[in-house]
Structure 1
Amino acid sequence: MPQTLTLPKMGCGTWAWGNRLLWGYDESMDAQLQAVFNLCVGNGVTLFDTGDSYGTGRLNGRSETLLGQFARDCLAPNRNSICIATKLAPFPWRLTRQAMISACDASARRLGRNVDLVQMHWSTANYAPWQEWPLLDGLADLVDRGWVKGVGLSNYGPKRLQKVYRRFRDRGVPIQTLQVQYSLLSTYPVTELGLKDLCDALGIQLIAYSPLALGMLTGKYSEKQLPRGLRGLLFKQILPGARPLLGCLEAIARSRHKTISQVAINWCIAKGTIPIPGAKTLAQAQQNIGALGWQLDSGEIAELDKAAARVPKTMVQNNFQTR
């Protein structure tokens, strides 16, 4: 059996790099992203999450390629603690367990190293449940072969999670992690689906992606200053009702001498999750790192919980999230 997978308290989601790569990759970003990576590792952020569908098409999995390069070139003293997680997409043409083994092998070649944590990117239960079981068997095969240190899932709800857990348990393969969209504007997986309690009972670590709600919880946007495109339309619908929550975040941030985003990320940590905020610049990485090394108290957490529960319109849930 492979060695036990050890996860840090906070990670860095390279989905941000993936989106940037998909929408016009510029090689001049490489040096900046390497600096971001080095800064994160040097400050104890050693979990990096990506996916084989990030930077696809003509870019040929560029996100994984860059991440592997950054890990090799990193000179931080704790570089040996780097944990690289990737998510394998259940594309329509992936139908067999061998397809997932081949996909992981391709990811490892792009990374230039073995994958530490391999994850199913999403469940096909909502549209093609028959496709999913062979692919999951392929993930378990990777653990049996010693190719990866652990296996995880992404966007699974409690009913589907328990079915997969039993199948893996029967093979003696533990599910290490479950990744879901979770933030003060997306509490649904925990408050309504009860995933945190279930994960705790099953010994699964919950990973929170999009902990800053696509940037809405940074405090930099308002109804008069919106991001472009579809994100701007979404923000326009949510921000008016989220004002009391942002005000609560701002008050706590001021009293703590922190930023709004640092308080929002720290809240995710306080809830027992590993948040994976994206970072493309040194300033963003430094902001994220500032969420570490301190803790919100129970009163502050309760205030944020109440403010979040009163937001009338929250983040749209991932279409692939199962129940």
Structure 2
Amino acid sequence: MALCSLSTLTASATSAHFSCFSASNETILSKSSFKLPFLWPWQKENKVKVGPLSVSPMGFGTWAWGNQLLWGYQESMDNELQQVFNLAVDNGVNLFDTADSYGTGKLDGQSEKLLGKFIREYNGKKGVRENIVIATKFAAYPWRLTPGQFVNACKSSVDRMELEQIGIGQLHWSTANYNPLQERALWDGLVAMYEKGLVQGVGVSNYGPKQLEKIYKYLKDRGVPLCSAQVQFSLLSYGDEQMEVKNICDSLDIKLIAYSPLGLGMLTGKYTLSNLPSGPRSILFRQILPGLEPLLRCLKEIATRRQKTMSQSADSN
């Protein structure tokens, strides 16, 4: 099954919640504090193929790194984030997902900067650092109108992370619905960055079924394989379109990466109407959580019966 899941790593002053990327509906582990001992639910020698790359069946998303508005990031969290990063790498995680747009205001690109820094400063198990795979996404900003501008975006990400090459370079979203002419230029940019050796593989994010099939054929005709497609996929977003994308990925040998499998944290069981997250998420959670009570009760019952966490139960759907 070509399904993986990817969600966001966040940190607060006292704890770091990280959730993971799971290849094939296997149960995952999600802990609310990196200080607690835990076991990873896969054999470390088992890897998932994403294009030419071999990655762990769980990976980390870094959307929260640098995002003050939605996730409440503060630079004082960096040491804690680095400890979580080190712990993940020590325990076999080698896939980290980021984007050039992750970071708000003056912290634009902060996620990539931190990730590069953490990789350089990692001094754990010998030989592990060299096997870390970075998947980053390049925003389809309206001023990126030519293939060359998109290639320059990739080069900027390489520079921010101080890498020689990126594992997977991904187009963050499609412009087909509002600027179809730009879309073709961005596709050509993916081809160029692949041909120049800036990335080992290319992928897309937030693509629907029709555009996914179009870009797959477009890239294939130019000798560039499409190795991954990210889509929002969880118990809260499990519709016909997601399943259609999944079926296309299965048939074309594209690895489907499901982001936000825990619904921004709503499926973890951590939050209630009396314990809402800070920032804009609290508004969203206040509106949605009441309608989720039957689902959350069911998840809790399943988790208790299986002696798992609610996060594990939610991500094994």
What is the CA-CA distance between 1:190 and the residue it aligns to?
A: 5.4
Structure 1 residues 227 and 51, CA gap change in structure 2 (3 angstroms): same
- Per-residue CA distance 1:122-180 (angstroms, 9 max, x = gap): 10112111111111111111111222110000000000111111100101111111011
One-letter amino acid matched to 2:179: A
- Out of 142, 146, 160, the position equivalent to 2:193 is 142
| CA drift at 1:4 | 1.7
Larger proportion of strand: 2
For the structure 1 residues 253 and 62, does the alpha-carbon distance in structure 2 shift closer, same or farther, using more than 3 Å as the test?
A: same
SS of equivalent to 1:159: helix
Q: By how many angstroms is 1:247 displaced? A: 1.5
Unaligned runs of 5+ in 1: 268-300, 302-323
Deviation sequence 1:92-118 (CA, Å, 0-9, x none): 110000011111001000001021110
**Residue deviations 1:44-64, cap 9 Å, x none?**
221111110112542242211
Question: Secondary structure at 1:226's aligned position in 2?
Answer: coil
Give the aligned partner of residue 152 of structure 1. 203
% same residue: 56
* 1:57–1:242 distance in 2 versus 1, CA, 3 Å: closer
1:9 aligns with 2:57: yes
Rounded to whole Å, the distance in 2 between the matches of 1:26 and 1:229 is 13
Match of 2:264 among 195, 214, 221: 214
Question: How far apart, CA to CA, are the structure 2 residues paired with 1:198 and 1:23?
Answer: 33
For the residue of structure 2 that corresponds to 1:6, the secondary structure is strand
Find the counterpart in structure 2 of residue 256 from structure 1.
Answer: 306
| Aligned match for 2:158, one of 104, 108, 124 | 108
Tell me the equivalent position of 1:177. Answer: 228
User: How far, CA to CA, are the matches of 1:43 and 1:21 in structure 2?
Assistant: 31
- Residue matched to 1:282: none
More helix by percentage: 1
List, as ranges, runs of 4+ consecutive aligned residues in structure 1 with deviation greater than 4 Å: 21-25
Question: Do the aligned residues in 2 keep the contact of 1:71 with 1:79 (CA within 8 Å)?
Answer: yes
Partner of 1:197: 247
Counting matched residue pairs gives 264
Backbone CA RMSD of aligned residues: 2.0
Shift of 1:189: 6.1
Distance in structure 2 (CA, Å) of the matches to 1:89 and 1:56: 14
Change (3 A) 1:242 1:56: closer
Q: Using the alignment, how far apart are the partners of 2:143 and 2:168 within structure 1?
A: 23
Opposite residue 173 of structure 1, the aligned amino acid is V
Unaligned runs of 5+ in 2: 1-50
Q: Call closer, same or farther: CA 1:204–1:69 in 2, change over 3 Å.
A: same
Q: What is the match of residue 165 of structure 1?
A: 216
Residue 224 (structure 1) shift: 3.5
Aligned residue in 1 for 2:239: 188
**Counterpart-to-counterpart distance in 1, 2:153 and 2:245:** 28
Q: Supply the AA of the counterpart residue of 1:180.
A: V
Q: How many Å separate the matches in 1 of 2:70 and 2:235?
A: 28
Contact 2:67–2:103 (Cα < 8 Å) also in 1: yes
For the 8 Å contact 1:22–1:56, the answer to whether it is kept is no
Counterparts of 1:1-323 in structure 2, within 5 Å, are 4-20=52-68, 26-77=74-125, 78-113=128-163, 114-188=165-239, 193-265=243-315, 267=316, 301=317
| CA pair 24-215 structure 1, distance change in 2 beyond 3 A | closer
- Equivalent residues of 2:115, 2:161 under 8 A apart: yes
Distance 2:195 2:230 in 1: 22
Deviation at 1:20, TM superposition (A): 3.5
The change in CA–CA distance for 1:245 and 1:25 in structure 2 (over 3 A counts) is: closer
Q: Look up the equivalent residue of 1:236 and give its one-letter code.
A: R
Q: Which amino acid aligns with 2:314?
A: A
> Normalization by structure 1: what TM-score?
0.76
Q: 1:257 to 1:8 in 2, by over 3 A?
A: same
Q: 1:196 to 1:71 in 2, by over 3 A?
A: same
CA deviation map 1:244-272 (0-9, x unaligned): 2111211121122221112223x1xxxxx
Alpha-carbon displacement from aligned partner over 1:269-291 (angstroms, at most 9, x marks no partner): xxxxxxxxxxxxxxxxxxxxxxx
Moved more, 127-136 or 55-64: 55-64
More divergent stretch after superposition (24-33 vs 116-125)? 24-33
